[in-house]
Amino acid sequence: MNIYTRVFWIVLDSVGIGELPDAAEYGDVGRNTLGHIAESRLLQIPTLIKLGLANIAPLKFLAPKASPLGAYGKGATRSPGKDTTTGHWEMAGVWLDQAFPVYKNGFPREVIEEFEQQIGRRTIGNKPASGTEIIKELGEEHVRTGKPIVYTSGDSVFQIAAHEEVIPVNELYHICEIARRLLDGPHRVGRVIARPFTGMAGNFVRTTRRHDYAVDPPKPMLLDVLAERKVRVLGIGKIHDIYNGRGVDEYLTTKSNGDGMEKITTAAKERKDGLIFCNLVDFDMLYGHRKEVEGFAKSLEEFDQMLGEFLPLLSLSDLLIITADHGCDPDPRWPTTDHSREYVPILAYSPGSGAAVNLGVRDTLADLGQTVAENFGGKIPHGTSFLSELGGYRTSEAAR
């Protein structure tokens, strides 16, 4: 078996594929992101279907392939929680003993008061909210008073929104750094997020200068192992922020899923080896939390089209992995806008590999990271690699 020279790993943020066995503990019985979007109408996602997506679990109107091109399966999150940090950390081999804290009623008064004292400003908000809705509601007051907007969600996040002409972006970043230092111990949230916006009242718009301040992951995790082995890692999207920059040689921020796929395409043309690790956030940020089923469906179709254009760029020695970090079922039958505790799809494809393989149900998302680690000659603390099940790549005389 030959190892893969390049691994392209794409995380479709929030694209879950059905409730986990412990979903009841999270109030998520019956939630199924992909399942309910497929129920809404016929999805035009031929590339994902060819790779084996409909072979993982039943999807209405979509027939499984008799012989899909890729290996397929689904993965369970072993760690408690259902947020971005938990999912991505587990992929890298980190198991959490307890979930990051969430604040369904806003942050405790003592936390807000200490934060206000340290930044020298009063704040407004302090409640769970959609990022676009909170600036509609409180943006005018913020502009008038200079008070930053603090809010959270069903995720473990402390978000700070500010108009770029009221609190300059560098000052907002500094405020977030203060919050990151403050939020430790029992209030150690997964991420502090800067949410700058611009515009006038009635037409406020979030800018692309968002910045995440994550908790530093425990050592060793996948990106540490790859760094030790001198494996180059390109992070695209919020990968750099999620892992606090550890083990990421280069990183590129993105404005959209399309922008992310453009950057992956450029990497396929320019980079000769290593891991290209990308998070595509539109599914979560624009559609899942806003409960826009049709928008989610169209976004899946747009990704599928871009994926179809990307696959011919892969060589025999390339491996593509497509998965998710959790669910965010936008079905209106569930009033919550929170993430959902779901399995995630796993698709693995190489044009140089043999017949498709059913990878089954993986007990932990760390199986993904262990597969990547083994491919590059390393090992992470948790997870069972499925690299040998992929068969490696086969070279032909013409390809040599």
> What is the DSSP code (8-state) at residue 334?
S
**Fold exhibited by the domain 6-98+217-390:** Alkaline Phosphatase, subunit A (3.40.720)
CB 168 within 8 A of CB 206: no
pLDDT of residue 397: 34
> Which residues in the chain come in under a pLDDT of 70?
1-2, 354, 393-400
SS3 390: helix
> How far is Cα 120 from Cα 100, in angstroms, rounded to an integer?
27
Q: What is the structure's pLDDT at 337?
A: 85
pLDDT of res. 267: 98
Residue intervals of the chain classified under CATH 3.40.720.10 are 6-98+217-390
Backbone angles phi, psi at 250, to 5 degrees: -135, 150
Residues in the chain: 400
Q: Model-level pTM?
A: 0.90
CATH code of the domain made up of 109-214 = 3.30.70.1250
- How far apart CA 366 and CA 92 sit, in angstroms, is 6
C-alpha atoms less than 13 angstroms from C-alpha of 353 in its C-beta half-sphere: 23
Domain with CATH 3.30.70.1250 in the chain: 109-214
Distance CA(367)–CA(390), nearest Å, equals 13
Taking only the tens place, the pLDDT of each residue in 315-373 is 999 999 999 999 999 999 988 888 999 999 999 999 988 678 999 999 999 999 999 99
**C-alpha–C-alpha distance, residues 164 and 137, integer Å:** 17
Quick check: 210 and 194 in contact, CB under 8 A? Answer: yes
